[in-house]
Amino acid sequence: MFGIDEAGKGPALGPMIAACVSVPDGSVLPEGIDDSKRLAPAKREALAEALHGDDRIAVGLAAIEPARIDDPGTDMNSLTVAAHAEAARQVVEAGMEGVCDAGDVDAARFVRRVSEGLPEGVSLSGEHGADETHRVVGAASVVAKVERDRRIRELEAEYGEVGSGYPSDPRTREFLEEYVGEYGELPACARSSWKTCTDALAAAEQGTLAEF
């Protein structure tokens, strides 16, 4: 059995991460698995370490980087489908059954699209909130979130404090404004098509015009 989920669909900075966790049965999953949003960071880290460290558990990860997100020829629904399939292909085989957290308002459509990218003979179902009702999907949620957080820490090592990357985070908005103000362009880690990023560029341009 396996579960798939993603983290980081909505941030203005960094990649979206999808994870697939495959187990022989649910009994091998560590205690405390839940939707990653319900868990404290330290608990998520400990669970992710346990999942990665158990040789009975297989973990697949896929990263959708900002440049791919900004491609005008695609959209977030399609990229979420692709991420789920890319993560799952690393660890699933024909005959396996799994569940995904539906990343589309139409859960059946999302499942159908992800299934098209999986090996033949794999049976996939999906629903909204699957990370709350299926422990194996919760495990995927945890792994994806921890990997996403690790990527943000890497960005902080390169750029300094960037916040969570989400548009609602004041520090993320400040970072973008400061970076654009200094360099005249967005950092490579930014999703340049996101409104938060285009707003930072527009504000810098207005500031430059005001100087004349």
Rounded Cα distance between 5 and 113, Å, is 15
CA torsion through residues 46, 47, 53, 54, sign: positive
Q: Supply 49's token pair.
A: 């370490």
101 is in an annotated binding site: yes
- Cα distances (Å, whole numbers) of residue 197 to 56, 101, 201: 42, 28, 6
205 is in an annotated binding site: no
Q: Supply 169's token pair.
A: 């985070």
What are the φ and ψ backbone dihedral angles of 123, each rounded to 5 degrees?
-105, 120
Please, is 56 exposed, middle or buried when counting C-beta atoms within 10 Å of its C-beta (0-12, 13-18, 19+)? exposed
Contacts for 156 with CB less than 8 Å, ≥ 6 apart: 162
104 is in an annotated binding site: no
Task: Return the half-sphere exposure (C-beta side, CA atoms, 13 A cut-off) of residue 92.
Answer: 31
Strand partners, 61: 19
Could you list the residues known to form a binding site, using ranges.
5-6, 101
Could you list the residues known to form a binding site for a divalent metal cation, using ranges.
5-6, 101
